[in-house]
Amino acid sequence: MQIDKTKPLEYSTEQGRLNILGFWIFIGAEVMLFATLFASYFTLVDRTGSGPSGSEIFELTPVLIETLLLLTSSFTIGLGVHAMRLGRTKAMLTFFIITLVLGLAFLGVEIYEFVHYVHVGAGLQTSAFTSILLTTLGTHGLHVTFGLFWGTMIVMQVMKRGLTPATANKSFIFSLYWHFLDVVWIFIFSFIYLKGMM
Amino acid sequence: MEFFERFAIPHPSPAIYASMVAIALTTIAVVVGLTYFKKWGYLWREWLTTVDHKKIGIMYMISALLMLFRGGADALMMRAQTAVPENTLLDAQHYNEIFTTHGVVMIIFMAMAFIIALMNFVIPLQIGARDVAFPRLNALSFWLYFMGAMLLNISFVIGGSPSSGWTSYFPLAGNELSPSVGTNYYMLALQISGLGTLITGINFIVTILKMRAPGMTLMKMPMFTWAGLITNVIIVFAFPVLTVALAMGTMDRLFATNFFTTTDGGMDMLWANLFWVWGHPEVYILILPAFGIYSEIIPTFARRNLYGYTTMVVSMVVISLLSFVVWVHHFFTMGQGALVNSIFSITTMAIAVPTGIKIFNWLFTMWKGKIQFTVPMLYSLGFIPIFTIGGVTGVMLGMASADYQYHNTMFLVAHFHLVIIPGVVFAMIAGLTYWWPKMFGFMLNERIGKWGFWFIAGGTVLAFFPMFISGLDGQARRMYTYSEGTGFGIWNMLSFVGAIGLAIGFALLVYNIYYSTRYASRDIGDDPWNARSLEWATHNPVPEYNFAITPQVNSSEAFWDAKKRGHKLFKAGYKDIHMPNNSGIPFIMSVFFFIFGFAFIFSMWITVIVSLIAILACMTYRSFEKDDGYHITAEELKKAESELRGAK
Amino acid sequence: MKLKWAILGALFTLTAVLTGCEPLTVLDPKGPQAQTQADVIWISIAIMAFIVITVFVMLVYILIKYRGSKQADSYEPPHIEGNKIVESIVVGIPIIIVAVLSIISVQSTYDVEAKPEGYGDKEPLVVYASSSDWKWHFSYPEQDIETVNYLYVPTDRPLEFKLYSYGPITSFWIPQLGGQKYAMSDMITTLHLAADVPGEFMGRNSNFSGEGFAENTFNVTAMPQQEFDDWVKEVKQTAKPLTEEKFDELLEPGHLGQLTFTGTHLGFMPPPKGHHEGHGAGGEDHSEHSSHESESSEHSEHDNNNNEHNHESDEAASHNE
């Protein structure tokens, strides 16, 4: 395997570079996935049937907490990648673990939020609006859940194997994924919650 | 007993019992055969665990041929049922199941598989690469597709087939009007194989962008590779839409959500929109690789370079962009008004311009050429007139006002078969015949191939031209029968005769494969067609490492230049080649996906969760696995190459 | 070459049949909308035939002139990259053709979507055509009568069909009067037609809707206004009134012959309203009828609900427009 020392560790092998480009294209597909969900959301947002509308069920506090948690986690994983570039494995691991903990906390609040919705009569089956709302949020939530699972494995691998081109590559790709989820959340926050509450 | 009742067929008939027996016997025969000939190990080592793009391509091709016969049998039954008025060969429910599975199988599991087969086999060779960018993901793509296809195919004997059309419009496809599990099969099978297709898309974009031989700039890529690149971009952007639509449909059916229902705000039109936002680009996913194949074959047998390389590329890019903004023409009649219909009418007809350019460029490619009528060339030449008719009728359908009369009629059926059959099926057979020696080291028999061509081309014309007439006479599509007084009988009888012609043609194709495997000469050299592009610069069949030395490329016809203009393809000496190890993970993971899908269809939630955990376990295993592959050393290469050359 | 002749032959046969003595349904229009569409179809066939013939002639010429068996062994075809002028022509002519077709398409689309011209200030006859598995219900609010699976219309008066469905998406199509349009459960679509001459025409649902789809047809009879009025009078005298119970029964999946009633279902089961805005109106009721679990008291409750939603949807609809 050829290692190009002039490039950052995650880009140093040919396979590593392919992985990163491949992942960018995957993110392109994910953008389409969420775009479709958003388009469907905007189509169905007023079709509340006999159920409640967004302004009746959205609560600002949990949403703000979720936003804060996820934005912070996006920042910490950025710090983690920075530490990785400097070769400081310990600092990187710390930041990655903080990121995962923040992600877990986000998920906890989101589960609380879902329970709240069901509690106030906005279940998955209530109306077209609640179906698409919970599906869109749920798809994002599932991505975060998968991210936690994936990130844990990467942290374990870095602990076990140290920073190699392979583990650095995986960590970097994971950080892309995590940033992407953050961007999606910003859209959810602006166009679902804020727009819905206004 | 209650547990098993859900697997029963809602509408049993002798045909279904016969296929149950047939499936059981085939399975037993395969298992016994493999055991008797002690081939289990071989199957596992060489095929089930392979990550070689060439073998994966061949597996795709075999699956596609199998699906062609499954879908073809459906088509024959449909044509037989409607051949005469008030026929009772099939009842309405079976006819509905059959045209639904015909559509799904042909588009998703036959045509898609066939184009991916050829892309898999040819593209890495055309760009001088060792393999695709992610060989394991490639294997995963194939196995996901395969499991999806198997899942849909068992629906016929376990639980019932989908019967609401390949478009599966809600609310017809909803729980209330389609209570059997058939539509669940549709949703899950398409979801699983769609995931495989998406992975293929990502894989090939990276491969084509990053792994081209030195010297091959984008505008020096062979046209099939260009077509592959654009196709895969469309795949990446179109398939997520299907993923979402299928997920919503699945949830409507299994979790009682209200996306497409007629209650609580659900919107049946949303399904139609999402389906066609994916569905129309899908058509171009099928046709662009076919265009690429013709762009390889026509220059080869006209003995001239491809005319208008740049316009060919530009026109494909334009087609791919337009393909995303025409979806409404599939339902001009949904009442969205004159303005929306006018806009989509214009975008639809606009596609004719880049497509027309391609037709004329192929014609100009033969200008001053030296045309040889080989089997691949015959299909390419048959493609031009039939596809032109299919294409111009598409423009007619694109005129919204007139479409109110064509929509949902046999006219439409004639149109899309006359673009898809010459556009995709002809290209597949042409490509198969053309690259067959690359795959297996011998050629398919030309004489049988030509007979096959005339049956298939003639059958296509005879089967589908009468539908234009019966469509204009008011025959709606998807009718399982019609009365004598309508006067549709004669046209449907002609179609049935045409369908038999097609069936004979396809049978000849299979016979040709059998015949040539037994009798064809293995001494064909590396360049039996006197071809032009890079894939012919290596041996037939291709060794596992593809090229012993990475080629240097100077044009889109590097091999031709090497033959005629003294271009030197192989400058460097032998170097070690890095190879990936085989892996059982893609196959095992896909089996779990199959179980997951099957359990989901029948709402067996414990099994769903267990299989999901198993899938995650496979991913975990893969993540922790250390696999650096192995190397073929320069010494071994030298030995292998001299043997390959000595054999010729 | 056989293939080319086969195709050309087929093309001629096609033309012969299209123009032949027994005209095809779609090309035998009996109303202004169908006439417009038939004209568009003929124009497009003519233009397309020109393109097809051009391609065929070029193909045959090239194949004959440049076939390998005719040329010397030593002939090496030249390398030709492309030619700006030729390619401009190849791009330009299709663009002109598409532009012409676009104008025709847009113009005629607006025509067939509007009330047909040439009927002075005659108000259109409004007919509510709703489908249920697998039949058509025609409500004449003006005349206050309802028919099942057959349609009587006056000639020389525009017709305005209000389409909706109690079940799957269907498509209302009377080829000799004009093109089709979908009937859906959560909105009303409007189809403008007119019959110029008296006669009997075939009408059907052309959009696949399940098991009974093939037989989902209806007969259309166009007659002078006087006869139509007589028929209405006769119906009023002879037919039974349409009750809610009876209509529920009619909605059951299955096939029915031709039925006639006085009164319409529009009163007790109003059609859905609005564009791109759904609510349960048709569908909700449909689901209950088919499952036979609803009590009549529940009905009125739902109707109230529906009215509320209708109100909302009206607003949304005006918002959309």
Question: How close A48 gets to chain C, by Cα (Å)?
Answer: 8
B341 in a structural domain: no
Question: How close C31 gets to chain B, by Cα (Å)?
Answer: 13
Residue C277 in this model has a pLDDT that exceeds 70: no
Q: Which position has the token pair 């009649």?
A: B333
pLDDT-derived band at C20 (thresholds 50, 70, 90) equals: low
Q: What is the pLDDT of residue B566?
A: 85
Q: What is the 3-state secondary structure (H, E, C) of B167-225?
A: CCCCCCCCCCCCCCCHHHHHHHHHHHHHHHHHHHHHHHHHHHHHCCCCCCCHHHCCHHH
User: Cis link prior to B541 (omega < 30° from 0)?
Assistant: yes
Note whether B441 and B518 are same-domain residues: yes
B500 in a structural domain: yes
Residue C189 in this model has a pLDDT that exceeds 60: yes
A178 in a structural domain: yes
Q: Whole-number mean pLDDT of chain B?
A: 92
Specify the range with the lowest mean pLDDT, choosing from B592-601, C5-14, C27-36. Answer: C5-14
Q: Tell me: the pLDDT tens digits for B339-358?
A: 999 999 999 999 999 999 99
Q: Which residues of chain C are within 8 Å of residue B272 when distances are taken between CB atoms?
A: 169
Residue C293 in this model has a pLDDT that exceeds 50: no
Q: Could you tell me which of A34, A129, A97, A109 has the C-alpha nearest to residue A68?
A: A109
Alpha-carbon distance B506 to B72, whole Å?
9
Tokens of B207: 């491969």
| CATH number of the domain within which B273 lies | 1.20.210.10
Q: Which position has the token pair 């195709």?
A: C7
Q: Which residues of chain C are within 8 Å of residue A46 when distances are taken between CB atoms?
A: 277, 316
B544 in a structural domain: no
Non-local CB neighbours of B577 within 8 Å, separated by 6+ positions: B130, B545, B548, B631, B632, B637
Alpha-carbon distance B510 to B532, whole Å?
28
Q: What is the pLDDT of residue C308?
A: 39
Residue B250 in this model has a pLDDT that exceeds 90: yes
Note whether B263 and B395 are same-domain residues: no
pLDDT-derived band at C300 (thresholds 50, 70, 90) equals: very low
Question: How close A47 gets to chain C, by Cα (Å)?
Answer: 7
Domain architecture of chain C: domains with CATH: 2-113 (1.10.287), 125-320 (2.60.40.420)
Q: Which position has the token pair 């349009």?
A: C181
Note whether B488 and B382 are same-domain residues: yes
- Give the mean pLDDT of C9-16: 62
Q: Hey, is the C-beta of A125 within 8 angstroms of any chain C C-beta?
A: no
Alpha-carbon distance B295 to B307, whole Å?
9
pLDDT-derived band at B488 (thresholds 50, 70, 90) equals: very high
pLDDT-derived band at C73 (thresholds 50, 70, 90) equals: confident
| CATH number of the domain within which A119 lies | 1.20.120.80
Note whether B384 and B266 are same-domain residues: no
Non-local CB neighbours of C68 within 8 Å, separated by 6+ positions: B303, B370, B371, B372, B373
Question: What DSSP line would sit under B134-167, residue for residue?
Answer: -HHHHHHHHHHHHHHHHHHHHTTTTT----STTT
Q: Tell me: the pLDDT tens digits for A35-55?
A: 999 999 999 999 988 889 988
Q: Which residues of chain B are within 8 Å of residue C279 when distances are taken between CB atoms?
A: 265
Question: Which of these three, B272, B302, B332, is where a domain ends?
Answer: B302
Q: Tell me: the pLDDT tens digits for B294-348?
A: 999 999 999 999 999 999 999 999 999 999 999 999 999 998 889 999 999 999 9
Q: What is the pLDDT of residue B572?
A: 81
Q: Tell me: the pLDDT tens digits for B88-103?
A: 888 899 999 999 999 9
**Which residue type, as a one-letter code, is found at position C9?**
G
Q: Could you tell me which of C140, C136, C111 has the C-alpha nearest to residue C124?
A: C140
pLDDT-derived band at B4 (thresholds 50, 70, 90) equals: confident
All partners of chain C with 3 or more CB pairs under 8 angstroms: A, B
How many independent structural domains does chain A possess? 1
Residue C80 in this model has a pLDDT that exceeds 90: no
**Which residue type, as a one-letter code, is found at position B534?**
L
Residue B482 in this model has a pLDDT that exceeds 90: yes
Q: Whole-number mean pLDDT of chain C?
A: 82
Q: Which residues of chain B are within 8 Å of residue C75 when distances are taken between CB atoms?
A: 370
Note whether B295 and B421 are same-domain residues: no
B568 in a structural domain: no
Q: What is the pLDDT of residue B428?
A: 94
Question: How close C13 gets to chain A, by Cα (Å)?
Answer: 47
Greater pLDDT, B534 or A1: B534
pLDDT-derived band at B270 (thresholds 50, 70, 90) equals: very high
Q: Left, alpha or beta for C82 (phi > 0: left; psi -120 to 50: alpha)? A: left
Question: How close A5 gets to chain B, by Cα (Å)?
Answer: 19
Give me the total of CB pairs closer than 8 Å, taking one residue from chain A and one from chain C. Answer: 10
Alpha-carbon distance C160 to C139, whole Å?
12
Q: Could you tell me which of B368, B341, B293 has the C-alpha nearest to residue B114?
A: B293
Give the strands of the sheet with C135-140, arranged side by side.
Answer: C189-193, C159-166, C125-132, C135-140, C145-148, C259-262, C240-241
Residue C295 in this model has a pLDDT that exceeds 60: no
Contact B243 A128 (CB under 8 A): no
- Give the mean pLDDT of C21-41: 90
Note whether B382 and B524 are same-domain residues: yes
pLDDT-derived band at C312 (thresholds 50, 70, 90) equals: very low
- Give the mean pLDDT of C92-101: 94
Tokens of B432: 């198969």
Tokens of B268: 């049946």
From chain B residues 412-431, the ones with a CB under 8 A of any chain C CB are none
Residue B170: φ, ψ to 5°? -85, 155
- Give the mean pLDDT of B55-84: 94
Q: What is the pLDDT of residue C279?
A: 35
Would you call A162 helix, strand, or coil by DSSP?
coil
Q: What is the pLDDT of residue C313?
A: 39
Alpha-carbon distance B55 to B544, whole Å?
9
Q: What is the pLDDT of residue C11?
A: 60
CB B464 within 8 A of CB B386: no
How many CB atoms sit inside 10 A of residue C72's CB?
7
Q: What is the pLDDT of residue C119?
A: 83
Contact A46 C279 (CB under 8 A): no
B599 in a structural domain: no
Percent of chain C residues past pLDDT 70, beyond the cut: 79
- Among B305, B382, B404, select the one facing C112 at the smallest CB separation: B404
Q: Which of A2, A13, A17, A32 to mutate to test the interface with B (most CBs of B within 10 A)?
A: A32
B636 in a structural domain: no
Note whether B297 and B375 are same-domain residues: no
ipTM score for this prediction: 0.94
Residue B254 in this model has a pLDDT that exceeds 90: yes
From chain A residues 4-23, the ones with a CB under 8 A of any chain B CB are 17-19, 21-22
Alpha-carbon distance B188 to B182, whole Å?
10
B30 in a structural domain: yes
**Which residue type, as a one-letter code, is found at position B9?**
I
Q: Tell me: the pLDDT tens digits for A88-124?
A: 999 999 999 999 999 999 999 999 999 999 999 999 9
Q: Could you tell me which of B56, B231, B207 has the C-alpha nearest to residue B145?
A: B56
Q: Tell me: the pLDDT tens digits for B416-451?
A: 999 999 999 999 999 999 999 999 999 999 999 999
Alpha-carbon distance B230 to B216, whole Å?
17
Q: Which position has the token pair 């969900």?
A: A37
Q: Could you tell me which of C22, C39, C48, C3 has the C-alpha nearest to residue B469?
A: C22
How many independent structural domains does chain B possess? 2
Specify the range with the lowest mean pLDDT, choosing from A140-144, B383-387, C10-14. Answer: C10-14
Q: Which residues of chain B are within 8 Å of residue C63 when distances are taken between CB atoms?
A: 366, 371, 381
Percent of chain B residues past pLDDT 90, beyond the cut: 78
Non-local CB neighbours of B519 within 8 Å, separated by 6+ positions: B445
B297-332 burial, b if ≥16 CB within 10 A, otherwise e?
A: bbbbbbbbbbbbbebbbebbebbbebbbbbbbbbbb
pLDDT-derived band at C16 (thresholds 50, 70, 90) equals: low
Q: Whole-number mean pLDDT of chain A?
A: 93
**Which residue type, as a one-letter code, is found at position C31?**
G
Q: Could you tell me which of C131, C164, C162 has the C-alpha nearest to residue C149?
A: C131
Give CA separation, B399 vs B441, B586, C114, C270, in Å.
49, 47, 17, 34
Tokens of C76: 């090496």
Tokens of B623: 């993540």
Half-sphere exposure of A113 (CA within 13 A, CB side): 23
Identify the burial level of B419 via C-beta atoms within 10 angstroms of its C-beta, where 0-12 means exposed, 13-18 middle and 19 or more buried.
Answer: buried
Q: What is the pLDDT of residue A147?
A: 96
Contact B405 C206 (CB under 8 A): no
B388-411 burial, b if ≥16 CB within 10 A, otherwise e?
A: bbbbbbbbbbbbbbbbbbbbbbbb
Question: How close C138 gets to chain A, by Cα (Å)?
Answer: 28
DSSP 8-state assignment for residue C119: S
Q: Hey, is the C-beta of A118 within 8 angstroms of any chain B C-beta?
A: no
Question: How close C318 gets to chain B, by Cα (Å)?
Answer: 15
Would you call C165 helix, strand, or coil by DSSP?
strand
User: Would strands C178-183 and C170-174 be described as parallel, antiparallel, or unpaired?
Assistant: antiparallel
Residue B631 in this model has a pLDDT that exceeds 80: yes
Distance between alpha carbon A70 and the CA centroid of its chain, in Å?
A: 8
Residue B330: φ, ψ to 5°? -80, -10
Residue C172 in this model has a pLDDT that exceeds 60: yes
Contact B267 A21 (CB under 8 A): no
Residue C140's beta-bridge partner residues? C145
Would you call C259 helix, strand, or coil by DSSP?
strand
Identify the burial level of B88 via C-beta atoms within 10 angstroms of its C-beta, where 0-12 means exposed, 13-18 middle and 19 or more buried.
Answer: exposed
Distance between alpha carbon C285 and the CA centroid of its chain, in Å?
A: 26
Residue B186 structural domain = 1-302
A167 in a structural domain: yes
Residue A173 structural domain = 9-44+69-197
Note whether B380 and B235 are same-domain residues: no
Note whether B404 and B496 are same-domain residues: yes
Residue C203's beta-bridge partner residues? C218
Residue C290 in this model has a pLDDT that exceeds 90: no
Q: Tell me: the pLDDT tens digits for A149-176?
A: 999 999 999 999 999 999 999 999 999 9
Contact C280 A49 (CB under 8 A): yes
Question: Which of these three, B517, B533, B549, is where a domain ends?
Answer: B533
DSSP 8-state assignment for residue B476: B
Alpha-carbon distance B602 to B600, whole Å?
5
Reported pTM: 0.92
- Can you list the alpha helix ranges (DSSP code H) found in chain C? 2-19, 32-65, 84-113, 225-238, 244-251, 281-291, 296-320
Half-sphere exposure of C93 (CA within 13 A, CB side): 13
- Give the mean pLDDT of C115-129: 88
B644 in a structural domain: no
Residue B105 in this model has a pLDDT that exceeds 90: yes
CB C111 within 8 A of CB C187: no
Give me the total of CB pairs closer than 8 Å, taking one residue from chain B and one from chain C. Answer: 309
Q: Which residues of chain B are within 8 Å of residue C209 when distances are taken between CB atoms?
A: 172
Alpha-carbon distance B195 to B189, whole Å?
10
Half-sphere exposure of B425 (CA within 13 A, CB side): 29
